Structure 1
Amino acid sequence: MPRPPAFRPQSRSAAGAIRAARRTAAAVLALGLVAWSGGAAAHTPSQPAPALVQPPLLSPAGALAPGTVTRQGGAPATAATSPAPVPAQRVLLRGDAATPALTAYWFVPREGTTTRALPVVVALHGCGGLLSPQDSMATGGGTDASALLQQRYREYAEWLTARGYAVLMPDSFSARGKPHGTCTEPIDNRGVDDRTRRADALAALRWLGSQPGVDPARIVLLGWSNGAQAVLATVDASRPWPAGTPQVERAVAFYPGCKRAVRQHDYRLRAPVLLMIGGADDWTPATRCAMLQSAVLARQPNARFRLEIYPGAHHGFDGTSELHVRRDVPAGSNSGGVRKARAVTVGGDAVARAAALAQLDSWLASPDP
């Protein structure tokens, strides 16, 4: 396979998507309209979906909400015409001797969406945890457990199942007594590190390997922030791969911290990676991820490592929260018992979000990412 061109910190495709999205978004958002493009058919390597006419445009308040969907060539969906959200089933993932059994949330496309073996996305949450803060200690009643999850993860599950993917979301924190996450804990003092979360991802892959109706050759690993670091750790080819564990066919990392991988001098990829990050991210700086891409391509000239940097976007740009400053993020490990914190900017960016989701749509549909 020919070597892909090395991507600059801001790739041409990212810059083009941003420019196109800004021109269209300015006109559409001024009228207060929200549009969304995409297909209900599964995105598979064997049958790629048609190219998007334009990036899906999202309002700052309703990024992935089912009621804002516009199907290709159709009118905007309304509450009366939009399908109900796909429910989630809670399942148990059994790990090895050092890994506790984890609760995971399993979403399956509605009956009739596809008759083929299902492609799957394993989605790894960020340091804030998977569960909604008000529901993180609840047991969850009824048959639909998705109400327990944070809005971002519910909406991504809906977006992915609409494209024919099953979605598995492991909860790495609740079983370890940290349902509210680890964002405010010094990184070096966290009990849940990259090795731990890699073990959780492998447990999820093993569970998928035993499920009927799942295509084990079409598994996507996707993560956000701390979960994106776990994605990078999982697809690190310098680490052994457990026998009997399905391989990851491709991986997606939203704004990971790339510092540890950069420092690892033998870091290599075992699967194609799409890494998306904001150019103004002051929590997990994009420059380190650009360094990682350069290092990987120097070691693996044929590696498929796509880096998209969205100018002006901050950490969490694909979310819907207002841009705000967090002052509770540790600056590092405790030093002499004194905890130091730093301020970081977090929040959604409607234009970068639209461009990133269009890129994700294309990446999942591509037969050769």
Structure 2
Amino acid sequence: MATAPATPPCSTDPARAASRLLRAAVALALGTWLAGAAAHTPDLPAPALTQPAPLTPAGALAPNAVTRPTPGSAAAPVPAQRVQLRGDATTPALTAYWFLPREGATARALPVVVALHGCGGLLSARAARETTPGGEASAMLQQRYREYAQWLTERGYAVLMPDSFSARGRPQAICTEPNDTRGIDDRTRRADALAALRWVADQPGIDTARIVLLGWSNGAQAVLATVDASRPWPAGTPQVERAVAFYPGCKRAVQQHSFRLRAPMLLMIGGADDWTPATRCAMLQSAVLARQPGARFRLEIYPGAYHGFDGTSELHMRRDVPAAARKVQGVTVGGDAVARVAALAQLDSWLASPDP
């Protein structure tokens, strides 16, 4: 079979030149279309975000995203130490999980985040069922809390996550119990938060002037209760320097006409939240600022986002949650990619600011 003669590199044949240009244009268009199609294919996980340098608001990493290792490093999760918080006559000794930045990450005294879990508990469903000791302690925790611990320690924070439920025989959840009849209420969880703050103050190498109290949902309600300046502050308990609340129920705080803040507050909630409505938190902000004109109370409402927007689960209806003031039984929960990234950027900025 005869072989066609090769076209000289600098051929001036107009037909051949036009053919080459056409093939190149088609290849370029096809490649661009495939890249765009891949980027918009539904039901694929979001691409991993490269971990930013500590305290860089523009590069905040969303929790529950997969972390890509930096060149030459391993993306191993930060380990946790299981510790015991001392109890008293009204509060049992609690198990907590203590995370420290990797060795050599910082030479200064460490700021601390005390993080309070939601009504679903701190432990994963499997860990809550199994009591066999051993293994990496952080593997006991739900994915959300493990990855927040990673996110925070990479920014130079020590992190303490107390488990308010296991010691009271409720390792998994209280979400299905009516708010007004829960045995573990805001007063109980405030006592746990204060015990965690006292434990932190006894640890070496900790900057007790830089303690952040952070919580999600039911834990965020505990944050509100803890930093309520109308309640007495126990002697020997370090102060909270700033507080962060993800989608708390603000109803009780709104109804408490003496509620005031003893620390700057960042409250983030979804505009479509039908479990803990944003309108009540907006009412709380207005009431606090009327009582305390100089209070620092930042409220971020993310339009269209639901309860748990900083996670990655698909939106779904929970019908096992008491209706409370809602006309329809059930609530909507699930992640919102846009709100998640925006909230993490806001949290990063809030933590980095010397004057929130």
Give the TM-score normalised by structure 1: 0.81
1:282 alignment partner in structure 2: 274
Tell me if 1:234 matches 2:234: no
CA RMSD in angstroms comes to: 2.2
User: Separation in 1 of the partners of 2:48 and 2:129?
Assistant: 35
2:49 alignment partner in structure 1: 35
Given that 1:28 and 1:34 are in contact with CA atoms closer than 8 Å, whether structure 2 keeps it comes out as no
Between structures 1 and 2, the one with greater helix share: 2
Given that 1:124 and 1:224 are in contact with CA atoms closer than 8 Å, whether structure 2 keeps it comes out as yes
Structure 1 residue 187: Cα displacement: 1.1
Structure 2 residue identity aligned to 1:342: Q
User: Of residues 322, 330, 349 in structure 2, which corresponds to 1:343?
Assistant: 330
User: Separation in 2 of the partners of 1:318 and 1:137?
Assistant: 26
Gaps (5+ residues) in structure 2? 1-35
Structure 1 residue 139: Cα displacement: 3.3
Tell me if 1:135 matches 2:131: no
Structure 2 residue identity aligned to 1:38: P
What secondary structure, in the 3-state scheme, does the structure 1 residue paired with 2:128 have?
Answer: coil
Given that 1:123 and 1:221 are in contact with CA atoms closer than 8 Å, whether structure 2 keeps it comes out as yes
User: Separation in 1 of the partners of 2:231 and 2:37?
Assistant: 49
Tell me if 1:85 matches 2:85: no
Q: In 2 relative to 1, CA 364–236 (structure 1 residues): closer, same or farther, beyond 3 Å?
A: same
Structure 2 residue identity aligned to 1:312: G
What secondary structure, in the 3-state scheme, does the structure 1 residue paired with 2:199 have?
Answer: helix
1:10 alignment partner in structure 2: none
Q: In 2 relative to 1, CA 204–96 (structure 1 residues): closer, same or farther, beyond 3 Å?
A: same
Deviates more, 1:243-252 or 1:27-36: 27-36
Structure 1 residue identity aligned to 2:272: A
2:33 alignment partner in structure 1: none
Structure 2 residue identity aligned to 1:133: A
2:87 alignment partner in structure 1: 95
Give per-residue Cα distances to partners, 1:262-310, cap 9 Å, x unaligned. 0000000000000000000000000000000000000000000000000
User: Of residues 182, 185, 189 in structure 1, which corresponds to 2:181?
Assistant: 189
Q: In 2 relative to 1, CA 206–27 (structure 1 residues): closer, same or farther, beyond 3 Å?
A: farther
What secondary structure, in the 3-state scheme, does the structure 2 residue paired with 1:207 have?
Answer: helix
Tell me if 1:326 matches 2:340: no
Structure 1 residue 57: Cα displacement: 6.6
The alignment covers a number of residue pairs equal to 316
What secondary structure, in the 3-state scheme, does the structure 2 residue paired with 1:164 have?
Answer: coil
Structure 1 residue 191: Cα displacement: 0.5
Structure 1 residue identity aligned to 2:336: D
Structure 1 residue identity aligned to 2:240: V
User: Separation in 2 of the partners of 1:170 and 1:270?
Assistant: 22
2:345 alignment partner in structure 1: 358
Structure 1 residue 34: Cα displacement: 3.4
Given that 2:243 and 2:263 are in contact with CA atoms closer than 8 Å, whether structure 1 keeps it comes out as yes
User: Separation in 2 of the partners of 1:27 and 1:196?
Assistant: 51
Structure 1 residue 55: Cα displacement: 5.2
Q: In 2 relative to 1, CA 27–114 (structure 1 residues): closer, same or farther, beyond 3 Å?
A: farther
User: Separation in 2 of the partners of 1:29 and 1:260?
Assistant: 44
1:263 alignment partner in structure 2: 255
User: Separation in 1 of the partners of 2:47 and 2:118?
Assistant: 30
What secondary structure, in the 3-state scheme, does the structure 1 residue paired with 2:129 have?
Answer: coil
User: Separation in 2 of the partners of 1:343 and 1:83?
Assistant: 38
User: Separation in 2 of the partners of 1:352 and 1:100?
Assistant: 37
Structure 1 residue 36: Cα displacement: 4.1
1:367 alignment partner in structure 2: 354
Structure 1 residue identity aligned to 2:205: G
Given that 2:51 and 2:68 are in contact with CA atoms closer than 8 Å, whether structure 1 keeps it comes out as no
Given that 1:55 and 1:355 are in contact with CA atoms closer than 8 Å, whether structure 2 keeps it comes out as no
User: Separation in 1 of the partners of 2:260 and 2:128?
Assistant: 36
1:336 alignment partner in structure 2: none
> Highest relative contact order (Cα 8 Å, sep 6+), 1 or 2?
1
User: Separation in 1 of the partners of 2:108 and 2:292?
Assistant: 34
Given that 2:251 and 2:280 are in contact with CA atoms closer than 8 Å, whether structure 1 keeps it comes out as yes
1:17 alignment partner in structure 2: none
Bigger Cα Rg? 2
Q: In 2 relative to 1, CA 215–143 (structure 1 residues): closer, same or farther, beyond 3 Å?
A: farther
